[in-house]
Amino acid sequence: MNITVIGCGRWGSFITWYLSRIGHTVALYGRAESARMRAFCETRTNGLVTLGPQVELTHDLSRALCSDAVVISINSQGLAALAAELRCAGLRDKLVILCMKGLEVGTGRRLSEIAKAGLDPSNRIAVWLGPGHVQEFCRGVPNCMVIDSEQEDAKRYLVDAFSSDLIRFYYGQDLLGNEVGAASKNVVGIAAGMLDGLGLSSLKGALMSRGTREIARLIRAMGGDELSAYGLCHLGDYEATVFSQYSHNRQYGESFVRGERFEALAEGCYTVQALMTLGTRYEVELPICAAVNAVLYQQADPRDSISALFERSLKNEFYL
């Protein structure tokens, strides 16, 4: 395939490296003013991946118009603007793969909904989700991920085209559940980091159990399959998000309660706001999300808010 990857952060650059590694013709797009893109143009590396000479580096978004597929890996809150830009540029009849996790602040829209509304209808949209860290993939540590789409043929084509010894892809069966599950696990990651920062890491088991049930209830209320919360998109991604030293969301939560600066993108900061919107809309109680939101945006005391999650009234274990 001839593929353009939009987004030169750690995931966009890894995807470029990975797709080139398995034999596709790949171009990496980044804006001219991007410091990350300038570094690639000067050295072809970001310290995590090194892009070979066969990979095209471009500042020209129209490169996507010449591709069979476009992979997008950017800040979730910038997707609507990018989709409008791509539509104006004339992007049509492409496979568009969203390798990003999040929900739109203010509306709660899923990323595939944003892309579908913003792009020309001739484009087919898929999502690439699941666990894994760039640092581990680059050391040759394999993992399993998910591709889902409303178009069955697109999903099957991409699973076949993108699978390798490094990443084994599974066919997603619930686009709504997979997207909500993938986005919300970042909020659980922030909560886990707060536990680390408070010296309460032993409570991560309870956090994971309750977090999965919380999101399963939301997915069901939204019309998805609640079992999706127990798959690779959410529970299956907890090891990488709740425990890993490479998890930006976990690191952000830990740094926040310690009063330390953390500059890297933590998508859960946006997602928690969107989840509160969805919780209200679908009348679903989201205690973990509410606690994280209160700490981040309402000046609530972290220890009181997070500890209170585990001091609620006694319940049957299976109805946490």
| Per-residue tokens: 228 | 């999706």
CB 103 within 8 A of CB 180: yes
CB 126 within 8 A of CB 147: yes
Give pairs for 28-35: CB < 8 Å, separation 24+: 28/4, 28/55, 28/56, 28/57, 28/58, 29/4, 29/5, 29/58, 29/59, 29/60, 29/61, 29/63, 29/64, 30/57, 30/59, 31/59, 32/59, 34/8
Identify the CA nearest to 195 among candidates 252, 148, 239, 139: 252
Please confirm, yes or no, whether 155 is among the known catalytic residues. Answer: no
- The letter for the amino acid at 313 is S
Distance, CA of 121 to CA of 294 (rounded, Å): 39
Q: What is the DSSP string of 68-91?
A: SEEEE-S-GGGHHHHHHHHHHHT-
- Please state, in angstroms and as integers, the Cα–Cα distance from residue 289 to each residue in 10, 207, 243, 249, following that order: 26, 11, 18, 14
CB 276 within 8 A of CB 296: no
Torsion angles phi and psi, residue 41, rounded to 5: -65, -30
Distance, CA of 223 to CA of 278 (rounded, Å): 12
Q: Can you say how many angstroms the Cα of residue 173 is from the centroid of all Cα atoms in its chain? A: 18
| Per-residue tokens: 186 | 């970042």
Annotated catalytic residue within 94, 101, 155, 185 = 185
- The letter for the amino acid at 11 is W
Catalytic residues: 185
